[in-house]
Amino acid sequence: DEQYDPQTLQPKWQRRWEELDPYRAGGDGDDRPRKYLLDMFPYPSGDLHMGHAEVFAIADVVARYWFQKGYNVLHPIGWDSFGLPAENAAIRRNAHPAEWTYANIETQANSFKRYGISFDWSRRLHTSDPEYYRWNQWLFNRFFERGLAYRKGGLVNWCPVDQTVLANEQVVAGQCERCGATVIRRELTQWYFKITDYADRLLDDMAQLEGGWPERVLTMQRNWIGRSEGADVAFQIEGRAEPVTVYTTRPDTLYGATFFVVAADAPLAEEICAPEQLPALEAYRAEVAKLTDIERLATDKEKTGVFLGRHAINPVNGERVPVWAADYVLSDYGHGAIMAVPAHDQRDLDFALKFSLPVRVVVETGLPDPAESGTATPGEGRLVNSGPLDGLTKTGAIARIVEILGERGTGAAAVNYRLRDWLLSRQRYWGTPIPIIHCPDCGEVPVPDDQLPVTLPDLRGDALAPKGVSPLASATDWVNVACPKCDGPALRDTDTMDTFVDSSWYFLRYCSPQLDDAPFDVEQVRRWGPIDQYVGGVEHAVLHLLYSRFFTKVLHDMGMVDFPEPFLRLLNQGQVVNQGKAMSKSLGNGVDLGEQIDAFGVDAVRLTMVFAGPPEDDIDWADVSAAASQKFLARAFRVMAEAGAASAPGADFSSGDTELRKVTHRTIDEVTRLVEAHKFNVAVARTMELTTAARRAIDTGPGAADPAVREAAETLAVLLSLVAPYCAEEGWERLGHGPSVTRAGWPAAEPALLVQESVTCVVQVAGKVRDRLEVSPDISGAALEELALASEKVRTYLDGAPRKVIVRAPKLVNIVP
Ligand code: ANZ
Ligand code: ZN
């Protein structure tokens, strides 16, 4: 029987893999070179979906390629299993979050097994297991000892729906990253990790990631950290003893400061405010409190503010300038106060024009007068109206003014960051309890390491309903404890940790997941780390990926890991959409992974995901065809089955048909390079071409028994094993091999067979030659189009999908953008 029948192959090979355990990473005695491949671990929300199917299929190509190449590969899987959805489900069903969580984990684990991902299952972990979260607590204690975990009061982001605080990183465009509610600010005392201590290193070490990480992720992290250089300048305020310091990136414009602004919501505003202006300030603050930061900073927002009845003294020219309170100055950036230079800062100019404040040009840029044009001139030029700075350039003036300020003791060069410390406490149940005991006499006392884990008390249903204080507070037996230091009555901290703590070090735990006396085995981490290839979504650009880098650096400083960066290479896969839109219930365009697998088989779904386009691009499921993938696999399977029936293993390939041998070896050579360059879709196209060539050799060439046909079929099985493991296994078995294609090894191209006449194909974009490709004379039109569109040179001239592609294989591709 030469039929490819995925539904019977799947259970058969799943059983075999269960027995063979082909992907278990080699132990200490295994001295093959090592590779560590990691997919961002899933959240157990229901079954696997199309997005999972894509990312895991793509990463599996890399993992299986390394296995075949003879590396000792670590490719683990686990679950990021704490978090709000489990808790919300538990409230709805009056159950415990663990029930929903672990049931979903089982479902996903079974789906992963059916989906044939090459995991080392022996390293499976769940972050909601006490055996795991115990080490979150242990790490928290280490951070606490080092002054890197601390509690402070202040304005924090609060989600009114989830009734918990959020980290800055979890507020996206003013909304809760989880539920979409508009985030408000509340004054609360919370726990923080001091990530700001690492701001410079997080920035500087990005040099090591250049080339390995997508540029846009590096840019997002750079902007998020937001380092800026400038100066602190102290202004005296009339009627007040201490000066007020402002941060400015343009100290050169100091002579152009015509007013002074304090953040309306900063305590400083009322400290400075003249008594007769206090009612106006209070009224204004009430208005400001209703706005989000996004609204406050929107450049097109009409400027608002109140005069505080005071004046500040410019430290260089003694000028008196009015002090205002306004919302466009933020209380938690710089010093919460600014010197306003309306001629050269647009927000200041808008404010000055609204309230008729003076505008003084101090940098001659050749542009129209800002007071007339309404447009500030932020650029470079020569200084004017600036006493000792006149005639200097911007850079020269900055150096000179910093010198002058230094001599007078009224200022100095300064660096500022946008990055804030990581707010890690949450007022929710399903997370890691913060291992701190509050004692009236001893203060904050960490739970001693030998008493960890502090496990969650058993709460369920209504007890978990959000009420603004942590549900743990209601577990009074759990909360009331003896102080570990003085034995007096004390209270446990009732907050839990942000679940991003769990994912900040899980990749280290995989190196020794069962260890029970440390979070990870330092030697094993040295052996496997850092991660050679990380694969996951770009939505984590400034969350998980920044936090993990921070954790790694702290652990590096503790001497526990010997590398400063956890992920050497990062691949962000695109999204799977349908009919051009993200899949959603409300649009009714969802595609169910299970149904796709039932209809076309695992291999066809995986192949479709990989073949759809470059891995970074979105896949529109309406534009691809799993049915066509299944047909191709049936064709490939028939080639392997027929070759297997016609000849036995061990044939002398060199006596086979030379033409087919050349195609086979060229394919090996190209697929190897394409997989290494992450051009997986083109690698699949090459594999398809090899299938066609083998089919032709069977039908109209030397026939199925020719050794070259066997060679092509065996090669096909190994190449296919990266994307279509069931088809590849069964084909390999039909070819007389065992026990599994996973042990076949990657074929080597024979150089003698690679010398092959090629033709040069010209690729035009909008009629202009943009690239030349060396291709085989018998390349298919589809493969050529694929190749042309994958060309870096061509892609820089394309902005999205081209309107039309005209292919004249093998010599010309004409793209209409
Ligand atoms: C005077 C000035 C003149 C400024 C000029 C800019 C241009 P970055 O680059 O983001 O660090 N600023 C300082 N603290 C602020 C706060 N709490 N809220 C809002 N704005 C604040 O921006 C630094 C600049 O943003 C500072 O430099 C200050 O305006 C403003 F021609 O000072 B500048
Ligand atoms: Zn005590």
Q: What is the ipTM of this complex?
A: 0.96
Is the pLDDT assigned to residue 487 strictly greater than 90? yes
Q: Identify the pLDDT of residue 756.
A: 65
Residue 584's pLDDT band (cuts 50, 70, 90): confident
Is 225's C-beta closer than 6 angstroms to any atom of ligand 1? no
Is 336's C-beta closer than 6 angstroms to any atom of ligand 1? yes
Q: Identify the pLDDT of residue 778.
A: 82
Is the pLDDT assigned to residue 299 strictly greater than 80? no
> Using alpha carbons only, what angle is made at residue 99 by residues 93 and 104, rounded to the nearest 5 degrees?
105
The model carries a pTM of 0.87
Q: What H or E segment, with its residue span, contains residue 313?
A: strand 305-313
Is 339's C-beta closer than 6 angstroms to any atom of ligand 1? yes
Which of 338, 346, 364 should be mutated for ligand 1, with most atoms under 8 A from CB? Answer: 338
Which of 222, 301, 333 should be mutated for ligand 1, with most atoms under 8 A from CB? Answer: 333
Which of 225, 249, 253, 419 should be mutated for ligand 1, with most atoms under 8 A from CB? Answer: 249
**Average pLDDT of the residues of the chain:** 95
Protein residues near ligand 2, an ion, with CB under 5 A: 439, 441-442, 483, 485-486
Query: What's the 191 CA to ligand 2 centre distance in angstroms?
Result: 20
Binding residue ranges for ATP: 585
Average pLDDT of span 461-479: 90
SS3 422: strand
Query: What's the 235 CA to ligand 1 centre distance in angstroms?
Result: 15
Measured from the Cα of 416, ligand 1's closest atom is 11
Can you state the angle between helices 593-600 and 602-611, rounded to 10 degrees?
Answer: 110
Is the pLDDT assigned to residue 293 strictly greater than 90? no
Is the pLDDT assigned to residue 587 strictly greater than 90? no
Is 416's C-beta closer than 6 angstroms to any atom of ligand 1? yes
Tens digits of per-residue pLDDT, 215-238? 999 999 999 999 999 999 999 999
Is the pLDDT assigned to residue 1 strictly greater than 80? no
Measured from the Cα of 332, ligand 1's closest atom is 17
Confirm if 725 and 14 have CB atoms less than 8 A apart. Answer: no
Is 601's C-beta closer than 6 angstroms to any atom of ligand 1? no
Q: Identify the pLDDT of residue 178.
A: 81
Query: What's the 375 CA to ligand 1 centre distance in angstroms?
Result: 17
Is 744's C-beta closer than 6 angstroms to any atom of ligand 1? no
Query: What's the 575 CA to ligand 1 centre distance in angstroms?
Result: 37
By alpha-carbon position, which residue is closest to atom 22 of ligand 1? 249
Exposed e or buried b per residue across 138-175, where buried means at least 16 C-beta atoms within 10 angstroms of its C-beta: bbbbbbbeeebbebeebebbbbeebbbbbbbbbbbebb
Is 802's C-beta closer than 6 angstroms to any atom of ligand 1? no
Range of lowest pLDDT (170-184, 345-359, 585-599): 170-184
Tens digits of per-residue pLDDT, 535-569? 999 888 888 999 999 999 999 999 999 999 999 99
Rounded Cα–Cα distance for residues 748 and 672 (Å) = 9
DSSP secondary structure, 455-495, as one string: PPP---GGGGS--SS-GGGG-HHHHEEE-TTT-SEEEE---
By alpha-carbon position, which residue is closest to atom 33 of ligand 1? 248
Tens digits of per-residue pLDDT, 677-726? 999 999 999 999 999 999 999 999 999 999 999 999 999 999 999 999 99
Residue 755's pLDDT band (cuts 50, 70, 90): confident
Strands 496-497 and 533-536: unpaired
Average pLDDT of span 151-178: 85
Average pLDDT of span 799-810: 91
Is the pLDDT assigned to residue 473 strictly greater than 70? yes
Percent of the chain scoring above 70 in pLDDT: 99
Is 329's C-beta closer than 6 angstroms to any atom of ligand 1? yes
Is the pLDDT assigned to residue 532 strictly greater than 90? yes
Is the pLDDT assigned to residue 666 strictly greater than 90? yes
Which of 247, 335, 351, 398 should be mutated for ligand 1, with most atoms under 8 A from CB? Answer: 247
Tens digits of per-residue pLDDT, 17-33? 999 999 999 999 999 99
- Beta carbons within 10 angstroms of residue 1's beta carbon: 6
Is the pLDDT assigned to residue 143 strictly greater than 70? yes
Is 228's C-beta closer than 6 angstroms to any atom of ligand 1? yes
Identify the residue whose tokens are 């090894």.
Answer: 745
Q: Omega before 725 cis (within 30°)?
A: no
Of 171, 165, 170, nearest in space to 187 by CA? 165
Q: What H or E segment, with its residue span, contains residue 553?
A: helix 544-557
